Chains A and B, each alone.
Chain A
Amino acid sequence: MIQIGPSEPEVDDDPVNIAIGTDKETASLVRPKTRDLDIADDAALVAACRRGEHRAMEALYHRYKRRVYGLVTRIVGYSDADEVAQEAFVRIYRGLAKFRGDSQLGTWIYRLSVNAALSHVTRRQKRIHAGEEVLADLPAPAAPRRDPRLSERLEKAMNELPPGYRAVLVLHDIEGLSHEECAEIMGCRVGTSKSQLHKARAKMRELLGPELARERGGQS
């Protein structure tokens, strides 16, 4: 199976993140009995999720939560990331009935997540253009990061890119996907993915010009 994205544990076992719903519709609802489930097997996981098995749905969430959340955060920004990640996961669970296995499960999940994020950006831009939501222009609140100096500069510049450029930059440079995978996710040709990335990096160099020049100066 093609490894998608940077290496990370297959399932995040962080107990803090394994939150069980407390609502009566979610927590106490009788779900189909969980059969023997090999969560490493995509086909078995998908089949169990389709049957509505709670443990399988949760396993799928924990396997992909970082990738989906990281992807949508870097496309839509921190302020809207929760909403869009929820939307992406709902599309994933509700769309599993249509998943035929023509592509890798990870690629399919990325595609739905990118689509959810780009749709959100498009809707947000329309609202801004219509003058209905001036607040949307405000910068996203800062989130805690491990390396604020480096990541802040880079992520701030990424927010200046057009959404399409941003998506391919995130998929290729941050998530580490190949152009073939990017093209499949974005629904475009491989050449288009390469061309978009080239333009995205050129724009990033332009946006980060002074910082890059300082780093060059510091090295020499």
Chain B
Amino acid sequence: MNCHDVERWSTAYVDGELDDRRASALRGHLRICDGCRARIEDESRLLAAAQELPPVDPPPALWSSIEQRIADAEIADAERSRAWLWWAAVRARALPVAVGALAVAVVVVWLWRRPGSPAPQTAATEPTAVTPAAGEQPAVLSFDAARRAEAARAEARYSKALAELRQLAADERGTMSADEAAELDTQMRALEQQANGERARLAASRSDGATLAPRELDRLHAAYRGQVALLEGAITGGVNR
């Protein structure tokens, strides 16, 4: 036990919360260290003085002031709308119900989106099993069907953008050197092969009836984005030229 330890344990010692061994060691140190003894005496004196402070009595008029403020608050309540009063009455009960419902919804969505989980088998969630009438859309899509529809829309947008960019690049080809044109063709072929390979893999996967995993299209879309960047560079003369 040294002065630093006394500094650390002084409050616990004065409050009687220090274990017996440490308390004994601390007392031993106090016998040989005047500074620490003064420190402990001061803290003990402070605690005793705090405990002896007299209670503070509130003024007699405090209760009537409180009653007045409660009355003001009740008058303010009377001016609130019925909807507010209804919500104030039910919110204490509504909050746990809302939290519970949210938790259940999160678990259901998580189970549904989990890779490898089987697709829902109900007619309402399997749009391919039901042929909607002409001009009508299925009322409810399963999560997997919605993802596939979104993937198809993305595929169409990439195809359209790449077709336009290829046309613009073809117009610019006359301004390229032979080496630049050859490099462009080489890189485009590599990216197209990558995209074709991904499409083939996805088609094989779909034939097995598996659901579309959340990150499954990432590599295909990366190949598309590579083509877009390459063609934009060729058109603007900034990339790979």
Contacts and interface: CB of A to CB of B under 8 A. Distances in A.
Interface in B68-126: 68-71, 73-75, 92
Contact of B69 (A16, A29, A74, A90): A90
Interface string A68-83: 0110011000000110
Contacts of B62: 65, 69, 82, 85-86
Judged by DSSP, the binding face of B is helix
B53 A85 contact: no
A66 interface: yes
Contacts of A169: 50
A194 B11 CA distance: 8
Q: How large is the interface on B (under 10, 10 to 19, 20 to 34, 35 or more residues)?
A: 35 or more
B61 to A, nearest CB: 6
Please give me the 8 A-B residue pairs with the lowest Cβ-Cβ distance, nearest first.
Answer: A25-B71, A69-B58, A173-B50, A21-B67, A70-B56, A26-B67, A198-B11, A146-B54
Given A90-B69, A98-B92, A66 B39 contact: no
Interface stretch (A38-46, A112-120, A131-139, A201-209): A201-209
B144 to A, nearest CB: 44
A90 B66 CA distance: 7
5 contacts: A19-B60, A69-B57, A70-B56, A198-B10, A198-B11
A30 B32 CA distance: 71
A66 B54 CA distance: 11
A80 B51 CA distance: 23
Chain A, interface size category, equals 35 or more
A61 B66 contact: yes
Contacts of B60: 16-17, 19
Contacts of B11: 194, 197-198, 201
A212 B41 CA distance: 9
Nearest to B69: A90
A155 interface: yes
Interface in A1-48: 6, 8, 16-23, 25-26, 29
A97 B92 contact: yes
A143 B59 CA distance: 11
B55 A145 contact: no
B38 interface: yes
Contacts of B49: 150-151, 154
Interface in A179-212: 194, 197-198, 201, 204-205, 208, 212
Contacts of A21: 63-64, 67-68, 71
Given A19-B61, A25-B75, A174 B66 contact: no
Contacts of A19: 60-61, 63-64
Nearest to A90: B69
